[in-house]
């Protein structure tokens, strides 16, 4: 099985203003003259991790990674003003133009797959290829599955109880709105309690095997506050997409090389999401592997690194 490339430091970092309010943290890694690829992180609101640089051959790729609006080292932190899918799509285009890149590979997992599809459907002429992992189409049933007691609570019942803890029983009929009221509270302690419970719930379901360290990292305030606030904001608005928009508009992408990688036992984003996308996009290469949701799981890493290598073989 393939593993990630060795640890890698950026050769250049940037702080790029994309409007009068938002400033994005951006990294460039690998070969400045290599095949351009843009990495789109999950959440929304989760931010970058150093291992995200390592899915790409640094000798053959020019790797552009950035913290999306409100996430990670972008500022203002956890900010929701002018923070929608379409603002993020515009940011990706602004970065492409800033770096003088004509076309690039688009790589995204979980929410990053949502954003990759939205971007490529808006700008198909800019996508050399798509590599997508842990498909999330932000449909109503997908949000209900994990955040509103669809099926995930039956698989992770003790963790579900901890997710319910900040919310009084009388508000359990609409958990997303109940969480939102607390995440938007003027009381910092209320916001933090809700954010850490939300982050722990998400981190607790991300790996196939139990990983207390992963759960703790998602519950850490520096991650949980942006993750919970921005996710709740997006989910309440259907990610600012029309119903089934990403499936409906797949026709715009069917000429673009694409690889879809999804864990068979992904609790956060069930494998049906990937199968629905592949059914609409028969030209895409679909891999269902023995894994959960996390990009770092060995079977997922194997397929993702194979995909990035083959994409480089195609264009370099």
Task: Tell whether 65 and 211 lie within a shared domain.
Answer: no
Listed in sequence order, the residues at least 6 apart from 255 whose beta carbon sits closer than 8 Å to its beta carbon are 124, 283
Task: Tell whether 187 and 131 lie within a shared domain.
Answer: no
Task: Tell whether 172 and 260 lie within a shared domain.
Answer: no
Task: Tell whether 195 and 244 lie within a shared domain.
Answer: no
Residue given tokens 């599809």 in the structure block: 117
Residue 2 lies in a domain: no
Task: Tell whether 302 and 207 lie within a shared domain.
Answer: no
Residue 1 lies in a domain: no
Task: Tell whether 227 and 244 lie within a shared domain.
Answer: no
Residue 6 lies in a domain: no
CB of 205 within 8 A of CB of 268? yes
Measured in degrees and rounded to the nearest 5, phi and psi for residue 156 equal: -125, 60
pLDDT of residue 131: 99
Task: Tell whether 135 and 245 lie within a shared domain.
Answer: yes
Task: Tell whether 135 and 177 lie within a shared domain.
Answer: no
Query: Token pair of 197, please?
Result: 């419970």
pLDDT of residue 313: 98
Q: What percentage of the chain exceeds 90 in pLDDT?
A: 99
Axis crossing angle, helix 175-183 with helix 140-147, rounded to the nearest 10: 80
Residue 5 lies in a domain: no
Question: CA distances (Å), 149 to each of 52, 146, 156, 230, 286, in order?
Answer: 31, 6, 11, 20, 28
pLDDT of residue 181: 97
With CA atoms as reference, report the closest residue to 68 among 51, 55, 87, 54: 87
Residues annotated as part of the active site: 110, 266, 293
pLDDT of residue 149: 81
Q: Is this structure's pTM higher than 0.95?
A: yes
pLDDT of residue 184: 94
Residue 97 lies in a domain: yes
Measured in degrees and rounded to the nearest 5, phi and psi for residue 132 equal: -125, 140
Per-residue pLDDT 10s for the chain (316 aa) are 999 999 999 999 999 999 999 999 999 999 999 999 999 999 999 999 999 999 999 999 999 999 999 999 999 999 999 999 999 999 999 999 999 999 999 999 999 999 999 999 999 999 999 999 999 999 999 999 999 987 899 999 999 999 999 999 999 999 999 999 999 999 999 999 999 999 999 999 999 999 999 999 999 999 999 999 999 999 999 999 999 999 999 999 999 999 999 999 999 999 999 999 999 999 999 999 999 999 999 999 999 999 999 999 999 9
CATH classification of the domain holding 104: 3.40.50.1820
pLDDT of residue 45: 97
Among 189, 210, 237, residue at a domain's last position = 237
Instruction: Report the C-alpha gap between 53 and 270 in whole angstroms.
Output: 26
Torsion over CA: 167, 230, 115, 5 (sign):
negative
Task: Tell whether 223 and 284 lie within a shared domain.
Answer: no
Task: Tell whether 135 and 152 lie within a shared domain.
Answer: no
pLDDT of residue 151: 82
Among 201, 216, 237, residue at a domain's last position = 237
Residue 310 lies in a domain: yes
pLDDT of residue 295: 97
- Please give the full DSSP string across the chain, using - where no structure is assigned: ---PPPP---SEEEEEESSSS-EEEEEEEE-TTSEEEEEE-STTTT---GGGGGGS-TTTEEEEEEPPTTSTTSBSTT--TT-SHHHHHHHHHHHHHHTT-S-EEEEEETHHHHHHHHHHHH-GGGEEEEEEES-----HHHHHHHHTTSSHHHHSHHHHHHHHTTS-GGGGGGHHHHHHHHHT-S-HHHHHHHHHHHHHHHHHTSSSS--HHHHHHHHSHHHHHHHHHHHHHHHHTGGG--TTHHHHGGGGTTTS-EEEEEETT-SSS-HHHHHHHHHH-TTSEEEEES--S-TTSHHHHHHHHHHHHHHHHHH-
Task: Tell whether 209 and 193 lie within a shared domain.
Answer: yes
Residue given tokens 């990009």 in the structure block: 295
Q: Which domain holds residue 105?
A: 12-140+240-315
Residue 3 lies in a domain: no
Bond from prior residue into 159 cis (ω within 30 degrees of 0): no
Domains contained in the chain, number: 2
With CA atoms as reference, report the closest residue to 137 among 4, 280, 22: 280
Residue 136 lies in a domain: yes
Task: Tell whether 134 and 171 lie within a shared domain.
Answer: no
Among 210, 237, 264, residue at a domain's last position = 237
pLDDT of residue 109: 98
């Amino acid at each position: 099985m393939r593993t990630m490339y060795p640890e890698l430091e950026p050769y250049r970092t940037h702080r790029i203003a994309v409007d009068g309010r938002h400033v994005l943290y951006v990294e460039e890694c690998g070969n400045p003259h290599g095949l351009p690829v843009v990495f789109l992180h999950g959440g929304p609101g989760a931010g970058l991790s150093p291992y995200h640089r390592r899915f790409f051959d640094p000798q053959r790729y020019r790797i552009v990674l950035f913290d999306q609006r409100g996430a990670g080292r972008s500022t203002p932190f956890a900010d929701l003003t002018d923070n929608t899918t379409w603002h993020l799509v515009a940011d990706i285009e602004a970065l492409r133009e800033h770096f003088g890149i004509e076309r690039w590979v688009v790589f995204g997992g979980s929410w990053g797959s949502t954003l990759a599809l939205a971007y490529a459907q808006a700008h198909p002429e800019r996508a050399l290829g798509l590599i997508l992992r842990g498909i999330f189409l932000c449909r109503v049933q997908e949000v209900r599955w994990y955040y509103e007691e669809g099926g995930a609570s039956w698989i992770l019942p003790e963790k579900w109880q901890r997710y319910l803890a900040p919310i009084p029983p009388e508000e359990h009929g609409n958990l997303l709105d109940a969480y939102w009221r607390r995440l938007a509270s003027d009381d910092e302690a209320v916001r933090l309690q809700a954010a850490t419970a939300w982050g722990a719930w998400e981190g607790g379901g991300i790996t196939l095997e139990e990983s207390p360290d992963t759960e703790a990292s998602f519950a850490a305030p520096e991650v949980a506050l942006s993750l919970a606030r921005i996710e709740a904001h997006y989910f309440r608005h259907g990610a600012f997409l029309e119903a089934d928009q990403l499936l409906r508009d797949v026709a715009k992408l069917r000429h673009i090389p694409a690889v879809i990688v999804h864990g068979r036992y992904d609790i956060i984003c069930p494998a049906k999401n990937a199968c629905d996308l592949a059914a609409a996009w028969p030209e895409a290469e679909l891999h269902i592997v023995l894994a959960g949701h996390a990009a770092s799981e060995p079977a997922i890493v194997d397929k993702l690194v194979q995909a990035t290598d083959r994409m480089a073989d195609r264009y370099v």
